[in-house]
Structure 1
Amino acid sequence: MKAAVVVFPGSNCDRDLAVAFERAGAEVSMVWHKETALPEGVDIVGVPGGFSYGDYLRCGAIAANSPICRAVVKHAEAGGFALGVCNGFQILTETGLLPGALRRNAGLKYICRTIGLKVETTETAFTAGYAKGDVIDIPIAHHDGNYFADEDVLARLKGEDRIAFTYTDNPNGSVADIAGVLSANKRVLGMMPHPERAADSGHGGTDGTAMFSALVEQVVSA
């Protein structure tokens, strides 16, 4: 499987994401935000966490208009996989690939700790390595992780089984405790917690490993 990890000015989790993909068996390319095309044959694009463009306008808003994001949108619309983590989640909502928006945390403070995530669906390559209802420990590190969607969008997400993860103890005020959502075809996932930071025992936990290994396996066998 071939993965591409996009790098923006201010990305700080791009290498972590690349390592997680590589350890799962993927061939990884790093792609600078000014590139206009993804590498040939890419199966999944990783949009990492960090502070793209310093979040000077609105989190992810400037990055969403980078040249490479047009290629990411085209890739996803053609049925390709994409994973956006933290700032990457914000970017994917700004591009319109995922519904909703990320607002400032309810407590207006930056939060950095490991939290419990409940797996809400396994009907996607991203969560196929877990069992529905599993609670996994994944780190968070964000100031604007308060997910919001109106009632119609929320009803659609629930009705179409597109809520991937919820918080067991909501840290930021996200509507319906949502921590991660999926696109209509379930090939695009955006999540605020960092699975790539839970893919090495030396970092204190490996609950994120199953996401990357199952994703590679599912894509290869597709």
Structure 2
Amino acid sequence: MRIGVVTFPGSLDDGDARRAVRLAGAEDIGLWHNDPELHQVDAVVLPGGFSYGDSLRAGAIARFAPVMESIVDAAKGGMPVLGICNGFQVLCEAHLLPGALTRNTHLHFRNRDQALRVQSTSTSWTKNFTEDQEIIIPVKNGEGRYVADEAVLDELEATGRVVARYAGGNPNGSSRDIAAIRNEAGNVVGIMPHPEHAVDALTGPSTDGLAFFASVLAHLAGRVGVEA
């Protein structure tokens, strides 16, 4: 399996994401922001960082990158896409996910190991978890507060599209403790904490994040089996 990881100007977790892909057992493929070609990847990760220096607002310029036009089309066609932190912001700006990520309510950058409760396992990126499983992965953001109007939040709740919630304290003031959401089809997931930083027991704080990458490989393998 080939998983592409995009590098935008200002990306800083693309290397970590590529390492997580390799540890999960896939081939990591670098995707360049100015190149619309997806190079026959099976899934895409939009990594954390400060794409285009967060000019205008986080993710606002990255959504117009040539590679994003291809990713939007591929996502609408069913390709699995995971947006982590800044990648989550880009997915919202590209209207692949509803809502927006805004300044933390306390106006401080928050960097800590964070407990999450997995709410949805019916996505390409979470099928290896169990519902209500508690995991620990790092969070590091200054604009990580997920917001949406009440109608959108109610719809996300009613349709099971909240993928994970913060447990043991909300680090940024996100509405309804939301840490991750998905699209209707379940192939696009945005998550504010960083699973790619929790894939190795040596660097910790856990290896819980590896299951996100293993999940998409299991999903892709299953799809190949069905198509065959």
TM-score by length of 2: 0.95
| Identical positions, percent | 44
* 3-state SS of 1:202 partner: coil
Partner Cα separation in structure 1 for residue 220 and residue 63 of structure 2: 25
CA RMSD of the aligned region, Å? 0.8
Q: 1:120-159 maps to which residues of 2 (within 5 A)?
A: 120-159=119-158
Amino acid at match of 2:94: T
Partner Cα separation in structure 2 for residue 119 and residue 108 of structure 1: 26
Deviation at 1:125, TM superposition (A): 2.5
Deviation at 1:190, TM superposition (A): 0.2
Q: Which runs of 5+ in 1 are unaligned?
A: none
Q: Which residue of 2 aligns with 1:107?
A: 106
Q: Which residue of 1 aligns with 2:60?
A: 61
TM-score by length of 1: 0.97
Deviation at 1:43, TM superposition (A): 1.4
1:102-159 CA-to-partner distances (Å, cap 9, x unmatched) read: 0000100000110100011111221111111111001011000000011111111111
Given that 2:110 and 2:140 are in contact with CA atoms closer than 8 Å, whether structure 1 keeps it comes out as yes
Q: Which residue of 1 aligns with 2:181?
A: 181
Deviation at 1:81, TM superposition (A): 0.6
Given that 2:144 and 2:192 are in contact with CA atoms closer than 8 Å, whether structure 1 keeps it comes out as yes
Partner Cα separation in structure 1 for residue 222 and residue 22 of structure 2: 17
Does residue 11 of structure 2 align to residue 11 of structure 1?
yes
Q: Which runs of 5+ in 2 are unaligned?
A: 224-228
1:171-208 CA-to-partner distances (Å, cap 9, x unmatched) read: 11100100000011010000000000000111122111
Partner Cα separation in structure 2 for residue 37 and residue 126 of structure 1: 23
Q: Count residues in correspondence.
A: 221
Deviation at 1:221, TM superposition (A): 1.5
Q: 4+ runs of 1 displaced by more than 6 Å? A: none
Amino acid at match of 2:216: L
Deviation at 1:214, TM superposition (A): 2.1
